[in-house]
Structure 1
Amino acid sequence: MAKYRKKPVVIEAIQWTGKNIEEIARFMINGTYCYENNVLIIMTLEGKHIARTNDYILKGVNGEFYPCRPDVFKKTYDFVEN
């Protein structure tokens, strides 16, 4: 067994508040999502994922989008700049 360290990569992210769908739409300009009945569904490389309120929506290194729970986000990412 070998150990690996995650490469330091800067990503873009926005937090889903449950009310900022216009901001999400601008952020995900090249992504696929659906917003119905106050539910945000994001098409990821692995299929459809529901973004819960307060989840972060991340733009990956290849331009893909996916939701991330706040606790995991805070353990994984540090703020860089606006």
Structure 2
Amino acid sequence: MKARKKPVIVDVVLADDWKKVKSFVGESFLHDPLTDSYGIKTLEGVMRISPGDYIIKGVEGEFYSCKPDIFHKTYDILKEVDLSIDPLIGSKQAAEQSLQEAAQWISELEDITPFNRLLNLGS
């Protein structure tokens, strides 16, 4: 059996500034001053984090750590959109970016002929 990860947008922070990580994860942040090691509380228990790791907030609000090599194979970093300036423009930009990403994904499929036939049924 095979499965494809659903395209879900998640919040993420790079562990390059411990204050930033602590602000992101709140009470889930852990620091052991004796060993100067850092961690976060996750659904599976405490995970040690290292500089350069990505801290991800999952769809249920849970946090977990991801090593940079795995992160870059699994995720694409999206452009930040400042919705405070104009929420309608921000929404339009986010929608356009999503459409561009979907179009790129479709174009990368090895054989899109059946998909194109479906798209052209209404024409």
Q: Compute the TM-score of the two structures, normalised by the length of structure 1.
A: 0.86
Task: State the secondary structure of the residue aligned to 1:24.
Answer: helix
Question: Which residue is equivalent to 1:71?
Answer: 69
CA RMSD of aligned residues (A): 1.2
Q: Compute the TM-score of the two structures, normalised by the length of structure 2.
A: 0.59
Question: Which residue is equivalent to 1:4?
Answer: 3
- Correspondent of 2:79 among 49, 56, 81: 81
Choose between structure 1 and 2 for higher RCO, CA contacts under 8 A separated by at least 6 residues.
1
On the 8 A contact 2:21/2:29 being kept in 1, the answer is no
The percentage of counterpart residues that share the same residue type is: 38
Q: Does 1:28 align with 2:31?
A: no
Superposed CA deviations along residues 33-80 of structure 1, whole A, max 9, x for unmatched, are 211233111111000110011100110010000110000000000011
Any gaps of 5 or more consecutive residues in structure 2?
81-123
Any gaps of 5 or more consecutive residues in structure 1?
none
Measure how far apart 1:81 and its partner are.
2.1
Which structure has the highest helix share of the two? 2
Which structure has the highest strand share of the two? 1
Moved over 2 A (4+): none
